[in-house]
């Protein structure tokens, strides 16, 4: 279950928690079905929808040694009504 890196805590992700949607950064190589099964297994919930987008890496370095960080993928996961992830709710509020 190395595909899920961590939960995202931003203003938008906090608003989405009230709509029963949770935001995670995941490995860019993992598939939607893998992530859905990991979330259902790890938290014991039912997933009904998943949205994802790829965020670009940031530029790093100075002068001649320019580089960039790796890009990553962010998933917004919608749970069935009646399900929630209480450990994340307690952390966020």
Buried/exposed 62-89: b ≥16 CB within 10 Å, e otherwise: eeeeeeeeeeebbbbbebeeeeebeebe
Q: What is the largest CA-CA distance in the chain?
A: 54
- Of how many residues is the chain composed? 93
Fold annotation for 4-92 = Alpha-Beta Plaits (3.30.70)
Residue 62 has pLDDT above 70, yes or no: yes
Say if pTM beats, i.e. exceeds, 0.75. yes
Residue 7: predicted pLDDT: 87
Give tens-digit pLDDT for 6-53. 888 889 988 998 899 999 999 888 889 999 999 999 889 999 999 998
């Amino acid at each position: 279950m190395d595909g899920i890196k961590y939960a995202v805590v931003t203003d938008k992700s906090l608003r989405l928690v009230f709509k029963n949607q949770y935001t995670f950064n995941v490995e860019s190589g993992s598939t939607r079905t893998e992530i859905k099964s990991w979330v259902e297994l790890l938290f014991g919930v039912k997933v009904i929808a998943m949205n994802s987008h790829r965020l670009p890496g940031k530029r790093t370095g100075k002068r001649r040694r320019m580089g960039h960080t790796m890009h990553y993928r962010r998933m917004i996961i919608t749970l069935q009504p009646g399900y929630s992830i209480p450990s994340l709710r307690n952390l966020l509020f």
